[in-house]
Each structure stands twice: as C-alpha cells, then as structure tokens.
C-alpha cells in the first residue's frame, strides 16, 4: 500500500507557517491557479507557503463544468476571426489536456460527446470544426471525431429529441473531478515541502523599501494574526484578485469583471453513463453541456454578468433557463423537482491593465506584475492550470529576484494518487467486498491511496454517508487526517462531492460528518 501523505493535517501546516525565516514564495489563494503555482514552485526547489481563506477549491475551481478541453467555443471564434492567437490557445489547451490525463489518470478520463444536429446545413460546419479540433490536438488527440447518423446519435444519447434529428458529430474531450484534482495538486505540493494553510485569509500586504515583503494572515479558526514574510508574492485569489491588488496599491485599476455560470444536477435518468451532449447554440447563442458525472447528470452553464460575492448561488431564473433548454432537446420530461442540486461559479473575465486595449475581455490568462512586485495570475481555465502556474512562477522568480531556481518539473509530475495507479484496481476493492459503485468510486477518487481509505472503512467506518451515493464514513476521517479538511463543508463539498450532487442528502449527512470530525481529531484545527 502506498502511504498516505504525511503531515497533511491542517495543524501541521499551521505550525510550519509560523516561522521568522522568509519563504521564497507566498501564494494567496488555494484554487487551481494557487495550488498549481505552489506545486510548480516546489518542483523548482523553492520554499513555498500557500494560504487559502476558506478551503482548497472553495471558489470557482470546484464549480466548473469538469471538462478538460481545448474549448470548442474558442475554436469557433478562432475560425470566424481568423485569429492565430486563438488557434494557439486551443492547441496549447489540447496539449495540456493530454498531460492532465497522463499525470492524474485516476481523476481524469476521455469522454465521448455528441453534438446533435437538426439541420443538414449545420453538418459540414460542425464536422469541419471538430475535425480541426482533432488536427490542432495532433499527437495529443484522444480519439478522432466523426459524423454519426440520427440512429447512432439516439443510441448513444437515448434522451435526445428524435423529431427532426439529422445526426450528430461525435467528438472527445476529457472529464475530471475538479475539487479532488485541486486537493491532489495541493497535496502534491505539500508532499514536496510546501506549507498549505487553509482557513487563513490575507488581510494586508507589507512592503520594505518599496518592495513587497510579506502578508498579514488571519487564522479564521483561531482568530490569530500572523505575519508571513516572503521574497515573492503571488496573488491567485480568483474573482478576488482585485481586492488583493488594492492591498498592494489602493489606487490599482480593476483588472476583472465577473460572470456567473450555473450548473444543475439531475439524477442518472437524464444522461447515459458514458456519453455527454453538447448543445452548440441555445436561444441566445450559448453552449450547453449535459454530462454524466459521478452517477448523476450535470447540466450547464449559463453566463450572466454578476457581482463578486462569497458562495454565489444559482437564481431560479438561471435554473429555469437550463430546464427550458432541456425540454427543447429532450424526449424525457424534466421538471424543477428533478433538480437535486444547483451551484454557481464566478468566471473572472480579465483585461490586462497594461494592454493597450484595456476593454478587451479575454478567457486567456494574464500574469500581471505590479511596481512593488506583486504577481497576479487571473483568468485562463482549469485545463491550462499547469501552464499558467509555470508562467506565474517565472514572473515571481524575476519579481522576487530569486537565484539558482531550477526549471519547472511539472510536465511529468504524477499527482498524489497517480504514481502507482493501476487502471484495474477497482476489481481488488470489489474482491474485498465493496459494492461495485463504491469500489469504482474509491478507485478513481483516491487512485493508489484507495487502499488506505479502505483500511479505515474496514475499521468500522464502512457505512455510506447517504443512501444511493458511494461516499463512505471512512472518507471523513481520511480527509481530516490526510487531505487538509477541517469542516463538514470541506468534506461534503470538496473531498466527497455529495453537496454538489444532492443538497438534501448532504444536509442530512452533516450531523454525522460533524460527529466523525469531532471524534477523530480534536487537534485538527
């Protein structure tokens, strides 16, 4: 059995951050960008601390569509505007897609998606576009896309409206569990020596001789104030990046606007277990995905201008919008009561304050360095987190004048759970007596660490947290001991994904999760 991460309780990291010696790099924010940056930096031999105000992945990074993709939408834009930089963006993301699947095979897999076509005129357009997607992927391509006739489209995705269906294009992208990937990245950084402190908020920055020198951090569990010194600082606070920039310079021009993206979750009747659906154009020109995910059906997303708030919620209007479109494309009736969970994520749209056209909003990432040396990473997408992190650390090395720094080593770095991952490992768990759904789930969520969770389960924690879902009581204890979880929300939202799948089931499980957390580790905070 591969040993679980040592020293992965929050209390270990709380102790380690209280040092007078400056870190090489302090990262603010524990989403994909911040965790990725911490991992990249430790892979170069830097001394790194990361502080996250809430939990790992508590912001946008747990609320994505869970696709590892080059962006079919961006490709369309590239073709329409004949924009080489957009083509490069798609190509690079497709390359990263392959790396993610290789470096975290337990959490990522290829997913076939059908694009249904109800008008013959659309066929050559969509077909050419998706063939171009294959070409841009080059050697990183997952499988070739192809036209499927109406019968095959319906066979692949039986819920699809049959009337008027001409056929579809079948293409492939990657799918993953975003929050668990985020945790795996942060734990991989912690295993290599990074201090990763959650529930710790940056409330101010300090400067020495006109240069950034550290941050004031409030431990949100104890209320204590800490001064953390560092030679370079990275601002990876997602939608809150402008607030951090104002700690550095109260007159800083905003870089971000936000739009909200809502997903709803339905049960497994609404999608086949192994194929997704891409609705290429809704009534107002948006893209809608319908995806099988952890035994349920994920549908989204909307795109509406939105204010930056903690824990954004899906509005009834946004939920209605999604259901209305499902009715249009579905032969299976869907009603409001079918919605088991709905969540909203904030997409930060970035304009580089240094760019000549500051009004231009881009989905690409921007690395911005302030006069005092604050490195802000904003925008981009989950799929390209590794590349974004490498760019960010390079900027931080320059801004902090750090010497003797090795090149990034993340291209081949297997994330926690991946190193000894055996693709057939679920069979071993099933042989130990686990139900098939639990065996599959543990195998994919924990990779080569699944046996450690199983050992806890076999020590009296094998009960499910909620009927019909594969999450076990053992995971609560494991999350607290080895995955930096502290609160019931950390466990229910981002170590297991119960709260994202079924809000009522998560609410019902909360007292038991709280009791297990209290019993298992009184010193975890």
| Interface with ligand FAD (CB under 6 A) | 28-34, 51-54, 58-61, 63-67, 69, 201-202, 236-240, 244, 261, 301, 345-347, 380-383
Which residue, 392 or 426, is less far from ligand FAD as judged by CB?
392
- Least Cβ distance, residue 508 to ligand FAD (angstroms): 26
Listed in sequence order, the residues at least 6 apart from 308 whose beta carbon sits closer than 8 Å to its beta carbon are 239, 240, 256, 258, 346
Bridge partners of 174, per DSSP, are 68, 110
Surface-to-core class of residue 138, CB atoms within 10 Å of its CB (0-12 exposed, 13-18 middle, 19+ buried): exposed
**Cβ closer to ligand FAD: 280 or 345?**
345
**What totals of helices (H) and strands (E) does the chain contain, helices first?**
17, 18
Which pair of tokens denotes residue 91? 């190509």
Query: Of 129 and 239, which CB lies nearer to ligand FAD in the complex structure?
Result: 239
Both tokens of 158, joined, read 């039986």
The CA distance from 123 to 169, in Å, is: 8
Q: How far is the CB of 382 from ligand FAD (least distance, A)?
A: 3
Compare residues 307 and 511 and give the one whose CB is closer to ligand FAD.
Answer: 307
Helix axes 122-137, 84-103, angle to 10 degrees: 60
DSSP-derived pairing of the beta strands 365-369 and 374-379: antiparallel
Give the pairing type, strands 304-305 and 195-197.
unpaired
In the complex, least distance from residue 366 CB atom to ligand FAD, rounded to whole angstroms: 11
**Can you say whether the dihedral through the CA atoms of 149, 151, 152, 154 is positive or negative?**
positive
Query: By C-beta, is 32 or 472 nearer to ligand FAD?
Result: 32
What is the nearest approach in angstroms of ligand FAD to the Cβ of residue 433? 35
The least CB distance from residue 362 to ligand FAD, in Å, is: 12
- Of the pair 115, 450, the CB lying nearest ligand FAD is at 115
For residue 275, the minimal CB distance to ligand FAD (Å) is 17
Sequence-distant (≥ 6) Cβ neighbours of residue 47 within 8 angstroms: 23, 24, 25, 193
Minimum distance of ligand FAD from residue 67's CB (angstroms): 4
Query: Within its chain, how far is the Cα of 472 from the centroid?
Result: 22
| Cβ at position 243, least distance to ligand FAD in Å | 7
Q: Which one, 42 or 186, has the nearer CB to ligand FAD?
A: 186
Q: Name every residue whose Cβ is closer than 8 Å to that of residue 254 and which is 6 or more positions away in sequence.
A: 242
Question: What is the smallest separation between the CB atom of 38 and ligand FAD, expressed in angstroms?
Answer: 11
Which of 67, 461 has the CB closer to ligand FAD? 67
Cβ nearer to ligand FAD, comparing 66 with 481: 66
N-terminal to C-terminal alpha carbon distance within the chain: 28
3's tokens: 């040993």
Nearest of 125, 143, 126, 122 to residue 134 by alpha carbon: 143
């Amino acid at each position: 059995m591969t040993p679980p991460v040592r020293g992965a309780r929050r209390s270990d990291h709380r102790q380690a951050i209280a040092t007078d010696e400056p870190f090489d790099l302090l990262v603010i924010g524990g989403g994909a960008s911040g965790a990725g940056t911490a991992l990249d930096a430790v892979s170069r031999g830097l001394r790194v601390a990361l502080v996250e105000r809430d939990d790992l992945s508590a912001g946008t990074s747990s609320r994505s569509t869970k696709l590892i993709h080059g962006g079919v939408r961006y490709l369309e834009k590239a073709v329409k505007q004949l924009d080489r930089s957009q083509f490069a963006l798609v190509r690079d993301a497709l390359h990263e897609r392959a790396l993610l699947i290789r470096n975290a095979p337990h959490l990522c897999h290829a997913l076939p998606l059908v694009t249904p076509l109800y008008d013959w005129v659309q066929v050559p357009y969509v077909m050419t576009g998706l063939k171009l997607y294959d070409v841009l992927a080059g050697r990183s391509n997952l499988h070739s896309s192809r036209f499927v006739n109406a019968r095959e489209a319906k066979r692949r995705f039986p819920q699809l409206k049959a009337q008027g269906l001409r056929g579809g294009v079948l293409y492939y992208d990657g799918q993953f569990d975003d929050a668990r990937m985020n945790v795996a990245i942060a734990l991989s950084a912690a295993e290599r020596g990074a201090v990763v402190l959650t529930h710790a908020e940056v409330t101010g920055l300090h400067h020495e001789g006109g240069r950034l020198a550290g941050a004031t951090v409030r431990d949100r569990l104890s209320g204590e104030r800490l001064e953390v010194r560092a030679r370079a600082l990275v601002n990876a606070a997602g939608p809150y990046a402008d607030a951090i920039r104002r700690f550095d310079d109260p007159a800083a021009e905003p870089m971000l606007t936000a739009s909200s993206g809502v997903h709803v979750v339905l049960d497994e009747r609404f999608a086949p277990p192994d194929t997704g659906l891409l609705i290429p154009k809704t009534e107002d020109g948006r893209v809608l995905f319908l995806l099988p995910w952890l035994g349920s059906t994920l549908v989204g997303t909307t795109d509406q201008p939105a204010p930056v708030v903690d824990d954004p919620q899906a509005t009834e209007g946004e939920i209605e919008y999604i259901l209305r479109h499902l009715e249009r494309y579905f032969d299976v009736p869907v009603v409001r009561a079918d919605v088991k969970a709905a969540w909203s994520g904030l997409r930060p749209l970035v304009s580089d304050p240094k760019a000549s056209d500051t009004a231009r909003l881009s989905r690409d990432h921007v690395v911005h360095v302030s006069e005092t040396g604050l490195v802000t990473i904003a925008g981009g997408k989950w799929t390209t987190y590794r590349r974004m992190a490498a760019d960010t650390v390079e900027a931080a090395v320059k801004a902090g004048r750090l010497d003797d720094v090795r090149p990034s080593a993340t291209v081949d770095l297997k994330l926690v759970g991946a190193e000894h991952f055996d693709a057939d490992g679920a069979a071993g768990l099933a042989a130990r007596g686990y139900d098939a759904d639990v065996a599959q789930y543990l195998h994919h969520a924990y990779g080569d660490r699944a046996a450690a969770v199983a050992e806890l389960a076999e020590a009296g924690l094998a009960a499910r947290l909620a009927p019909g879902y594969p999450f076990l009581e053992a995971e609560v204890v494991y999350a607290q001991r080895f995955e930096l979880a502290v609160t019931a929300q950390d466990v229910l939202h981002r170590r297991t994904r119960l709260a994202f799948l079924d809000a009522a089931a998560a609410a019902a499980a909360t007292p038991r999760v709280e009791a297990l957390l209290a019993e298992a580790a009184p010193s975890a905070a």
